[in-house]
Amino acid sequence: MVNLNMADFIEASILSIYNQLTEQFEIVVVDGGSNDGSLEILQRLEKELDRIRLIALPRDPDRKLGTDRNISIENARGEYVMLHLDCDDLYLPYIPDWVEVFLSIEAAYGPDILVSGEQINMGRKSFLLSHGPYKNLHFEDRELWTRLAKIGCLIKLQHAPIRIRMKIPQPARTIKVFKRTYVRILEDLQQPQNRFFKYCWTQISQKNNLGFKLRLFRLGMCWLVLPHYTCAGKTKTDERHDRPQNIEDSEKKSLRALLCTKGIDEKTVKLSPSGRSIFFD
């Protein structure tokens, strides 16, 4: 997990995961330099709970989420890594089932894969380090997914949600959406292949599940980002990436379909009764 100023949510989120895990698991939390009290919460949890390890980093505006996530992978002691466990999510008791699902897919498709589910990802540590790492970006996941999809190593798994997003009160929620959209557009525009007016057109014309109002909001944000983009210029060489595909809306497959393709009986996957309804129904 990667934390930055999530004091209102971090303890509940960690406990929702920790209480599902056996001694085979650990939780590695990288704190990116919090100043809202969440670092103190993490330090207390590390002392109280025996399978939590905290890596506290000084705040560095040049170090983005992708680098923090790489640090969490590098410091993991296990053979496998679960990723994108967000600090403002509560996780339902299906993580052990998720692990069984991943192992069944890995047995069918081989070890060089990243399985991307609904707000949870999993892969071998060695694979992630050799085929990554994440680029030093705030929206590092899209870039890695795009790279892995191009070489046939990304499996997008469709299943019912296994987490609940904790509600951020207003106006903090609106501010968060505004900041995330601003940073996402800026990072996209700073890639060498993107041109401002063409990018603006894609915000309106691209086919996806976004409503017209949200598309219009993104178009307006492009013009708001323009002065920053004009002054900052294109990104550094080590932060460049291929044009992100609309990977969030790319084809997802059910576990049943993935196993059927390989001729594997779904009954061989050992899930709890409720877990079976999450991943098969």
Q: Report, as an integer, the average pLDDT of 90-117.
A: 96
Percent of the chain with pLDDT over 90: 61
Largest pairwise CA distance in the chain: 58
The predicted-structure confidence for 142-172, as pLDDT tens digits, reads as follows 889 989 999 999 999 999 999 999 987 778 7
Q: Give the three-state DSSP class for 179.
A: helix
Structure tokens at 155: 């499996």
Q: Is the pLDDT of residue 223 over 50?
A: yes
Q: Considering only CA atoms, which of 260, 88, 68, 54 is closest in space to residue 173?
A: 88
Whether pTM exceeds 0.75: yes
pLDDT at 209: 61
* Cα–Cα distance, 116 to 85 (Å, whole number): 12
Calculate mean pLDDT across residues 104-123.
96
For residues 183 and 139, the answer to whether their CB atoms sit within 8 Å is yes
Residue 8 Cα to chain centre, angstroms: 20
Give me the torsion for CA of 98, 103, 106, 111, rounded to 10°: 110
Rounded average pLDDT over 111-116: 96
CATH code of 2-165+251-279, in short, is 3.90.550.10
Assess whether pLDDT exceeds 90 at residue 218. Answer: no
Cα–Cα distance for residue pair 52/27, rounded to 1 Å: 5
Average pLDDT, rounded, for the chain: 88
Mean pLDDT for 255-280 is 94
Name the residue among 77, 85, 70, 75 with its Cα closest to residue 116: 85
What integer is the mean pLDDT of 190-198? 83
The answer, yes or no, to whether residue 79 has pLDDT greater than 80, is yes
Q: Are 160 and 118 in contact (CB under 8 A)?
A: yes
